[in-house]
Chains A and B, each alone.
Chain A
Amino acid sequence: MFGHLSAPRRVVVTGMGIACPLGLGVEHVWKRMTAGESGLGAIQSFDVSQLPSKVAGQVPSGPKAEGKLDIAEWIPVKDVKKMDRFIQLALVAAEEAVTDAGWKPEDEAARCRTGVMIGSGIGGLPTIYEASVQIYEGKTRRLSPFFIPSALINLASGHVSIKYGLKGPNHSVVTACATGVHALGDAARLIALGDADVMVAGGAEAAVSEIGMAGFCASRALSTGFNDTPTKASRPWDKDRDGFVMGEGAGVLVLEEYEHAKKRGAKIYAEVIGYGMSGDAHHITAPTEDGDGAYRSMKAALASAGLTPDRVQYVNAHGTSTPMGDDIELSAVERLWGDAAKGLAMSSTKSAVGHLLGAAGAVEGIFSILAIRDGIAPPTLNLDSPSRESPIDRVANVAQERRIDVALSNSFGFGGTNASIVFRKAA
């Protein structure tokens, strides 16, 4: 296997697209994020009276011109009903990413060398819920023929491939909240190993629904103490944090083989230089107390990048704002960085957009790349009183100008799955 390669090929990022609670469009979202704005709010779109957590980050509704989402501007009416919202969000982010990259392959050979790997943590949960209700009400024969393809996770990749005629590897990742990083890392590997020259990769999630909220409430994962002050609810590392805030959205990146990008004069945002994974083998929802899984995941990512920790200036943390997880990740980073922890900036952008589950790793990958591009570490909102001190600068409340050549982004998921990815400034 892989005997056709003398060495792995270099992989760069040439396009990015985003739909998240701060809005639509990479530049629009980034401007708001670095200004310290929050995309979280009280849930209005469905009845939350029975839910202990009533806050979330939802993609704002409105015209495209205002950086908001009106799905009719993006997808033909007759197709909207064939796809759950997570697929719709994936298509919106993918359109921005492929347009940004300027890569819509015209000939068959190029189409066959361009693939898609967009994942989701849960997929079409609201669609499954509605179908279940229909069956319960005795309307089994009335089930839409689009029910299954609307709910299936890999249909995000499917729809994107159909829309742009991308005939290369068509794959999808499902690793809960680690999905986004796994999708980017695995897609980069497909390019590095020669399976494709270009991959449209990322994650999408739209589980801010009654069933999604109720499920995470039942597992006691969500913030419940900030229903009246939603923008304060996500507060990673702060002593008053009490759970994560659900978010929805999609992040899609165009990954490309370096020579391929250079030859067509593409704009190069950053290079994907490292990727690491690990499993906790411990508990279905809780990390190990010593953060061993996170530590090994980051260590593996740095090893594959061939870098020592002191070469990394920014970490985009998993940092979900849960009482347990935040400090465990912090300890793991402190342990790995050692003396270099003093010079490190680490923030959690979930403080502004919430936890986008399967899309988190993809949108946070984009934020990490923008941190490198602009030399700005985005802030951790609501970090007013850290539950413990650390030599690491967690960029409390206000963005910081910093020299950032290399950034690492973490995502950890239920089931004890961990992934870390490393980006470097384009040479």
Chain B
Amino acid sequence: MSDTAEKVKKIVVEHLGVDEAKVTPEASFIDDLGADSLDTVELVMAFEEAFGVEIPDDAAEKITTVKDAIDYIEKQKAA
């Protein structure tokens, strides 16, 4: 697992208070991890803070799974 993936996973576990095992790449924040829309707003802010990236609202709306987050952040970091 990449550093980014590890870090994303850790943030999700901390913010949503879920079991680490449930945070698979395919897991949906809302459908599988018990988040509501405000939780996801906060989660995206936590990603921005942790990775030093900007995630505009229209991009944030498309981040619905753990993998979406990892991919977006890695793309931003590579750019």
Contact = CB atoms under 8 A, between A and B. Distances in A.
Interface in B1-60: 15-17, 38-39, 41-42, 45, 49
B16 A78 contact: yes
Interface string A168-180: 0000000000000
B29 to A, nearest CB: 12
A142 B16 contact: no
Given A145-B38, A146-B38, A77 B17 contact: yes
Contacts of B45: 142, 144-145
A79 B16 CA distance: 9
Given A144-B42, A145-B42, A146-B38, 16 more contacts: A76-B17, A77-B17, A78-B15, A78-B16, A78-B17, A78-B39, A79-B17, A82-B38, A142-B45, A142-B49, A144-B45, A145-B38, A145-B41, A145-B45, A146-B42, A149-B38
Nearest to A76: B17
Interface of B: 15-17, 38-39, 41-42, 45, 49
Interface of A: 76-79, 82, 142, 144-146, 149
Question: Residue among A77, A144, A145, A146 with the most chain B CB within 10 A?
Answer: A145
18 contacts: A76-B17, A77-B17, A78-B15, A78-B16, A78-B17, A78-B39, A79-B17, A82-B38, A142-B45, A142-B49, A144-B42, A144-B45, A145-B38, A145-B41, A145-B42, A146-B38, A146-B42, A149-B38
A144 B15 CA distance: 12
Contacts of A142: 45, 49
Nearest to A146: B38
A82 B49 CA distance: 19
- What 4 pairs between A and B have smallest CB-CB spacing? A78-B17, A145-B41, A145-B38, A77-B17
A82 B45 CA distance: 15
A83 to B, nearest CB: 12
A209 to B, nearest CB: 23
A197 B32 CA distance: 37
Contacts of A149: 38
Contacts of A144: 42, 45
A145 B45 CA distance: 10
Nearest to B44: A145
Nearest to A144: B42
A146 B41 CA distance: 10
A150 to B, nearest CB: 11
A76 B17 CA distance: 8
A78 B45 CA distance: 15
B58 to A, nearest CB: 15
Contacts of B42: 144-146
Nearest to B34: A78
A144 B45 CA distance: 8
Nearest to B41: A145
A142 B41 CA distance: 10
B49 to A, nearest CB: 7
Contacts of B38: 82, 145-146, 149
Contacts of A145: 38, 41-42, 45
Contacts of B49: 142
Nearest to A149: B38
Nearest to A141: B45
B59 to A, nearest CB: 14
Contacts of A146: 38, 42
Nearest to A82: B38
Contacts of B16: 78
A79 B42 CA distance: 12
Nearest to A80: B17
B34 to A, nearest CB: 8
Nearest to A142: B45
B76 to A, nearest CB: 16
A332 B39 CA distance: 52
Question: Residue among A77, A78, A79, A142 with the most chain B CB within 10 A?
Answer: A78
A77 B16 CA distance: 8
B54 to A, nearest CB: 9
Contacts of B41: 145
A145 B15 CA distance: 13
Nearest to B16: A78
Nearest to B43: A145
A147 to B, nearest CB: 10
A223 to B, nearest CB: 40
A216 B78 CA distance: 53
B10 to A, nearest CB: 14
A142 B55 CA distance: 12
